[in-house]
Amino acid sequence: MTHALLAGGVAFLIALLAGTQVVPWLQRRKLGKAISEDGPSSHMSKAGTPTMGGILIFGAVAVVTIASNLSARHSIFLPLGVVTATMAIGAYDDLGTLVGGKQRKLSWRAKFVLLVALSAVVACVLYFGLDAHSVNIPWGGKHDLGYIYLPIAFAIVFLMTPATAITDGLDGLLGGTAAVAYAAYGVIAFVQGQEYLGTFSFTVVGALLGFLWYNAHPASVFMGDAGALPLGGALATVALMTGHWLLLPLIGVVFVAEAASTVIQIAYFQTTGGQRLFRMTPLHHHFELIGWSEPQVVMRFWLFGIVAGMVGVGLALAV
């Protein structure tokens, strides 16, 4: 585990130092995000803040992983591949959200098709390439699922990838909660002897902490979909590779709550003829509109994420 923690520390320093150049570069390239009018009016002051900060996170992850974690197990190429694919999708979409930008965002249909394709590939690689087709149940042991594993793995990747993107709406919210979730799965991976996977997880944690230096309120850079989509896709992949994917809704409870609030709001709105269950979704906007300050929302969501991560690790250790 020493190597993993050192890798995380190095990733933190790389992201921290690289940010002194990357953030001004994003500003010079006029990659400032336009703020949707559908969100809280208080967010309009954030218009023009550079986005696509995900390149800072996963640039650091790539450097550390290529330098120190490729030789251990070739299966590490799977989460790296997921990061590359989702980062490309997210970056293209980010270009359509810029202030004064002329490029169109990806349509929801195009994004849907791309995520379906990615999720299918990941599920097949896990099953046929990495011989992953089981589930670990706390106090219940390991159970082989056979071919039913394929649709389950597909659903987990497909649902978790956009769930993290939905969470990315407040300064520091996704960065902090994702760091906790990756740390939890890093511990789980090490307990199971998957050192390469634990090292990857802690590398992401370190890079996220370096990014948070610039994303802390008031943020000088946003993660964008270039960072949010890879975080979800890679987290789902890591969870599946550990076999403890049943714990993902718990360890990623904030992401699940954010995504679920949006789905529930839409369903409630349509079935009641226009009534709303929440003031605004995703869930973090609801709490803003009932009077919580942005730092309060972020900190309290972090607390839920930390406790959920602790309980998740505890359940993973139950045999």
Q: What is the pLDDT of residue 242?
A: 96
Instruction: With beta carbons less than 8 A apart as the criterion, state whether 167 and 161 touch.
Output: no
pTM for this structure?
0.94
Confidence of residue 31 (pLDDT cuts 50, 70, 90): confident
**pLDDT, tens only, 173-215:** 999 999 999 999 999 999 999 999 999 999 999 999 999 999 9
The mean of the pLDDT values for the chain is 91
Q: Which of 222, 225, 251 is nearest to 238 (CA)?
A: 251
Confidence of residue 28 (pLDDT cuts 50, 70, 90): confident
Q: What is the pLDDT of residue 37?
A: 60
Residue with tokens 């969470």: 167
Q: What is the pLDDT of residue 98?
A: 76
Identify the weakest region by mean pLDDT among 15-24, 63-72, 240-249.
63-72
Q: What is the pLDDT of residue 104?
A: 67
**pLDDT, tens only, 56-111:** 999 999 999 988 877 657 889 999 999 999 999 999 888 877 766 556 677 889 99
- Across the range 3-18, mean pLDDT stands at 94
Q: What is the pLDDT of residue 81?
A: 94
Q: What is the pLDDT of residue 319?
A: 66
**Whole-angstrom Cα distance, residue 78 to residue 75?**
6
Per DSSP, helices labelled H in the chain are 2-28, 54-68, 77-95, 108-124, 149-167, 173-191, 195-215, 225-242, 248-251, 253-271, 283-289, 294-317
Q: What is the pLDDT of residue 94?
A: 83
Residue with tokens 């990357």: 22
Q: What is the pLDDT of residue 35?
A: 67
Q: What is the pLDDT of residue 3?
A: 86
- Answer yes or no: is pLDDT of 274 > 90: no
- Answer yes or no: is pLDDT of 38 > 80: no
